[in-house]
């Protein structure tokens, strides 16, 4: 079974430029997450989707970040304009609820460097 797919794997941009990340979750997983992970820290949730609905975007910096999940499958996360502090790894995860438990599976991440 294919895992969570993300692209690009690496991105280097100059500050104030826009950038977009793409995620394809595991087939059949209704829940999709975007996380940001800084060096030496655990992943921090940016947004969670149930199908196409964003059910938790409380930690998404809405002045510059946006996300969408059209048709409840693939998702994109956009930053415009990027700032130096946005340099991090952006992880996408999807999950399936079984027996009352929800296990998340992560993609390889997109490593962003803002210069």
Partner 1 sequence: RKEVEQDPGPFNVPEGATVAFNCTYSNSASQSFFWYRQDCRKEPKLLMSVYSSGNEDGRFTAQLNRASQYISLLIRDSKLSDSATYLCVVNRGTGGFKTIFGAGTRLFVKA
Alpha-carbon distance 1 to 17, whole Å? 36
Q: Choose the binding region for partner 1 from 15-23, 60-68, 78-86, 103-111 (rule: CB under 8 A).
A: 103-111
Burial 45-68 (b: 16+ CB within 10 A, else e): bbbbbeeeebeebeebeeeebbbe
The residue among 39, 41, 46, 114 whose CA lies nearest residue 75 is 46
Q: Which residues between 37 and 66 bind partner 1 (CB under 8 A)?
A: 40-45, 48, 55-56, 58
Give the chain's length.
115
Question: By C-beta, is 65 or 109 nearer to partner 1?
Answer: 109
Question: By C-beta, is 14 or 44 nearer to partner 1?
Answer: 44
When binding is defined by CB under 8 A, the residue of 21, 23, 24, 33 that contacts partner 1 is 33
Alpha-carbon distance 6 to 16, whole Å? 23
Question: By C-beta, is 28 or 40 nearer to partner 1?
Answer: 40
DSSP β-bridge partners for residue 112: 11, 88
Question: By C-beta, is 81 or 108 nearer to partner 1?
Answer: 108
**Binding-site ranges for partner 1 (CB under 8 A):** 33, 35, 40-45, 48, 55-56, 58, 91, 101-109
């Amino acid at each position: 079974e294919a895992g969570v797919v993300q692209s690009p794997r690496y991105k280097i941009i100059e500050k104030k430029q826009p950038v977009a990340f793409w995620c394809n979750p595991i087939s059949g997983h209704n829940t999709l997450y975007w996380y940001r992970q800084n060096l030496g820290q655990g992943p921090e949730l940016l947004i969670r989707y149930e199908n196409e609905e964003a059910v938790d975007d409380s930690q998404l910096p809405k002045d510059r970040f946006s996300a969408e999940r059209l048709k409840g499958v693939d998702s994109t996360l956009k930053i415009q304009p990027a700032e130096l502090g946005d340099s991090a790894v952006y992880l996408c995860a999807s999950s399936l609820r079984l027996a009352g438990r929800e296990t998340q599976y992560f993609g390889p991440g997109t490593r962003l460097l803002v210069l």
